[in-house]
Structure 1
Amino acid sequence: MRANWQPTATIETLHERARLIAIVRAFFAQRGVLEVETPILGQGGSTDVHLASLSTLARTDKGQRKLWLQTSPEFHMKRLLAAGSGPIFQLAKSFRNGEVGARHNIEFTMLEWYRPAFTLAQLIDETTTLVANVLPSFAGPVVRYRYRELFHTYLAVDPFTTSLETLRTLAAERGHMSAQTLAKEGRDTCLDLLMSMVIEPQLGQQELSVVLDYPASQAALARRHQDADGEWVASRFELYLNGVELANGYDELIDAEEQRQRFDEDNAERRKLGLPEVDVDERLLAALERGMPESAGVALGIDRLIQLAMGKARLEDVLAFSTPNC
């Protein structure tokens, strides 16, 4: 039995982790992508209602300030893009409160990179190539799916047109939750529950599954466009292997006014749900106003990728110290 002072990963595992991360760094070095380091603390946090940001009070030259631990390095990296950095990547410590489990840890390492002038299709190709480099024994195909088609296939409903009442009933049944629990939940919460409980386990089986055309309400910091059916959808993708979400990529939103509106809408939804508001990152908005180049960017959970590469049962098995043992 491991003593409470000991690492959660074995020393042998940490050697292999270092080797795999070296492969990642070499991948970007060969492509001329600059490695950067940015602060984990920021003036604003993620307003996303599905994420729980952590904050701290710090003594600064301007007095005591509330600072936010990043849920990803996105905001600072976009400021670098606006300053003319060109293509950049980072292996960054990130924090999401309450995320604990076989595939989650409150503190984790995010691999995030941005490609000015890349299309989303180019970024998908680069992301799947990186994963293949880290998992050389994996020889499965890359298969693209539309979000709508997955709901038709596995749940026989249309995520864009099915009534909220029907989605709540289905989410309660398939998510093993009471109807009362979901009675006040919105459309995206029900869709997220169905996606995670029913569809995600089917994805990435002997293949890399790429999911496209999420509802426009799930765009977060991505652009939106009309799909072949005339629906407004998010210009983003998610990548799955063995039922595990590995990456989330965007055709990045660069309109400062629209981004502010989305932040405000998120905080309004937080108030409605009884969640604490999150400070808006005004420095990001100032960078977007100054002008950020059109870019595609992606965040990849490097701990999860290493977990899959090594066949480990839990994320903590590839971390030197998991959150409960830090």
Structure 2
Amino acid sequence: MNETPGLNFDEQKVDKLKELQESGILVYPWEYARIDHAAEIKDRFSEISHEKSEEAVSVAGRLYTKRSHGKTVFADLGDESGRIQLYIRKNDLGDDAFSFFAKNIDVGDIVGVRGHIFRTKVGEISIWVDEITLLSKAICPLPEKYHGLTNVETRYRQRYLDLIINDEARSIFKTRSRIISKLRSDLSGNGFMEFETPTIQPIYGGANARPFTTYHNYLDQKLYLRIAPELYLKRLIVGGFEKVFEIAKNFRNEDIDTHHNPEFSMVEIYSAYADYNDMMSLTEELISGIIQDAAGTSEVEFDGKMIGYSRPWRRISMEKAVLDAAGIDIHAQSVEELRKLAEKERIDGWDKAGSPGEFLVLFFEHFVEPTLIQPTFIYDFPIENSPLAKKHRSKPGYTERFELFVAGMELANGFSELNDPLDQKARFEEQDAKRQRGDLEAQMIDYDFINALGYGMPPTGGVGIGIDRLVMLATGQNSIKEVILFPSMKPVRTSDEQTEE
């Protein structure tokens, strides 16, 4: 094997490639007139007999197997749609072409094939090959056939190899593509317009998260990768667009685990003259339809549990959910009593909470969140942790905010959006005070956004839905790395680096 770090070249394949190039063989041609696909051929010729079809076909793809029987070779060719068997005879190709194929075309190579369709004696629809053309020489070996690509780290780091070998991986990402397409079409069908907002921002906002920081030399300015597109999309509502959305890449400088990746995808949706009740209904409608379309059923297994997405979904206030699960009524006890309860349960953050609302969130995350397996809307959040949500119309100390939980993880977050510029200014100032005290996830003050609200934003409902987690649920994958093509990974250290340590 090649000893250059990071390369997996097979020296024998490299030598073969050089020999072909030196002999004038075009190893990497510019194009090929591919007309047909494997799956389409099998469907179109489903009634074919053992006789060759009169109609010729032209396919192209990767050679996955090659089984020689003297003057006859059976091989499997795979393209994006699936695989089909090739039947290659010396009598059909001719001595020179067959010899070239036998000697120079290997498993892993990309080839073009022309021939006719027939059914073998064992009933398999196959291509009786008249001509085979080398389109791309592979000099890295594919994993061994029967064990495949078993190393999880390799699957994530070399996703291209995972996709070559793993049919399930390709299926997952085809489903992901369909989910995003349906999401976009459903929103457009409901009158929403899609926009693009800045990824690099002078002020980060729209969520409580630690940002990635960069620097622009020409502007001589610190900038941030966005943690959410929220504040820019709401500027569009101020500007007169009434139903907007963005399918966005967001970036948060946080831990990596089975549910979190520093770079992730979400859709944010805003609708003028709507509130959080409307957004719960829209969220339910979108996700139930997407699951049905992606999985072909309203029930999908996830982490050993069957989850049903038939509507309507359960809705319960955070306060009642905690009371039902833990018997804790935060309004019936003092802050000191709540602190003692939280300390007794060893709840993370108990020593930093200082209000009933903050303890309510801690109790919810500890006692309730892991139990929310079936789709459940938790609504009416304390004002302390909802700096962009509108104050509740009838419950002092609360906001009109909801989160959707499925399989114990948050899938969506929405509000009746705060549109009072003075209230927003005060909330930002509270966040900034936390940031100054060392809270790395607190939000900055965005004065231009406050100014935008000063021109008047209509009553608005908004929601953000995590696309990666939605794909996890639709495909039954319990790790976010299985649904992100190129997830963030720890760097691979060389032996020299390890020795230096």
TM-score above 0.5, yes or no: yes
**1:47 and 1:125 mapped to 2: Cα distance?**
22
C-alpha distance after superposition, 1:39-87 (max 9, x if no partner): 1122212386x52222211124xx3111122211101111111111220
> CA–CA distance in 1 between the matches of 2:418 and 2:341?
33
Residue 200 of structure 2 corresponds to which residue in structure 1?
A: 41
Partner of 1:52: 210
Please report how far the alpha carbon of residue 271 of structure 1 lies from its aligned counterpart in structure 2 after TM superposition.
2.5
Q: CA deviation at 1:239?
A: 1.1
Q: Shift of residue 325 of structure 1?
A: 6.4
Larger radius of gyration: 2
Are 1:224 and 2:388 matched, yes or no?
Answer: no
Alignment of 1:1-326 (within 5 A): 1=151, 2-3=153-154, 5-7=157-159, 10-46=169-205, 50-60=208-218, 63-136=219-292, 137=298, 138-139=309-310, 141-175=312-346, 182-187=350-355, 190-205=359-374, 208-227=375-394, 230-273=395-438, 275=440, 279-324=444-489
Q: For the Cα contact (< 8 Å) 1:252–1:297, is it kept in 2?
A: yes
> Residues 311 and 17 from structure 1, CA distance in 2 versus in 1: closer, same or farther, beyond 3 angstroms?
same
Note closer, same or farther for the CA distance 1:64–1:278 as it changes in structure 2 (3 Å cut): farther
What letter is aligned with 2:380?
D
Judge conservation of contact 1:44–1:282 (CA < 8 Å) in 2.
Answer: no
* CA pair 323-170 structure 1, distance change in 2 beyond 3 A: farther
TM-score by length of 1: 0.88
SS at structure 2 position matched to 1:323:
coil
Q: Distance in 1 between matches of 2:470 and 2:204?
A: 25
When residues 276 and 322 of structure 1 are mapped into structure 2, their CA distance, relative to the original with a 3 A threshold, is closer
Q: Is the 8 A contact 2:425 2:450 kept in 1?
A: yes
Write the distance in 2 (CA, Å) between the matches of 1:201 and 1:173.
19
CA contact (8 A) 2:210 2:253 kept: yes
2:81 maps to which residue? none
Tell me if structure 2 keeps the 8 A contact 1:36–1:90.
yes
Asked whether the 8 Å contact 1:160–1:215 carries over to 2, the reply is no
CA contact (8 A) 2:276 2:401 kept: yes
In structure 2, how many angstroms separate the alpha carbons of the residues matched to 1:47 and 1:90?
14
SS class of match (2:268) = strand
- Indicate how the Cα distance of structure 1 residues 83 and 274 shifts in structure 2: closer, same or farther if over 3 A, else same: closer
Q: 1:270 to 1:77 in 2, by over 3 A?
A: same
> The residue matched to 2:387 in structure 1 has which SS?
coil
* Aligned equivalents of 1:302, 1:151: Cα separation in 2: 28
Q: Distance in 1 between matches of 2:473 and 2:441?
A: 35
Residues in 2 aligned to 1:33 and 1:274: alpha-carbon distance in whole angstroms: 36
Determine the C-alpha separation between the residues in 1 that align with 2:346 and 2:178. Answer: 39
Measured at CA, do residues 133 and 278 of structure 1 come closer, stay the same or move farther in structure 2, by a change above 3 Å? closer
Q: Distance in 1 between matches of 2:393 and 2:285?
A: 28
Q: Which runs of 5+ in 2 are unaligned?
A: 1-150, 164-168, 293-297, 299-308, 492-501
Greater length-normalized contact order (CA 8 Å, ≥ 6 residues apart): 1
CA distance, structure 2, for counterparts of residue 222 and residue 277 of structure 1:
15
* 1:183 alignment partner AA: D
Deviates more, 1:316-325 or 1:274-283: 274-283
CA distance in 2, matches of 1:47, 1:86: 19
Q: Which runs of 5+ in 1 are unaligned?
A: none
Residue in 1 that maps onto 2:37: none
Structure 1 pair 144–158 and aligned structure 2 pair: CA distance change class (3 A): same
Alignment partners' CA distance in 2, 1:184 and 1:35:
40
Q: Which moved more, 1:311-320 or 1:256-265?
A: 256-265
CA displacement at 1:128 relative to structure 2: 0.4
For residues 159 and 204 of structure 1, the distance between their equivalents in structure 2, rounded to whole angstroms, comes to: 24
Question: How does the TM-score come out when normalised to structure 2?
Answer: 0.59
* 1:140–1:175 CA distance, 2 compared to 1 (3 A): farther
Instruction: Tell me if the contact between 2:209 and 2:440 (Cα under 8 Å) persists in the aligned partners.
Output: no
Partner letter of residue 45 of structure 1?
A: Y
Q: CA deviation at 1:259?
A: 1.0
Distance 1:274 1:25, change over 3 A: closer
- Aligned residue for 1:224, secondary structure, equals coil
- SS, match of residue 437 in structure 2: helix
Q: 1:159 to 1:248 in 2, by over 3 A?
A: farther
Asked if the contact 1:43–1:281 (Cα under 8 Å) also holds between the matched residues in 2, the reply is no
Percent identity over the alignment? 30
* Count of equivalent residues: 316
Is this contact kept in 2: 1:175–1:197, CA < 8 A?
A: no
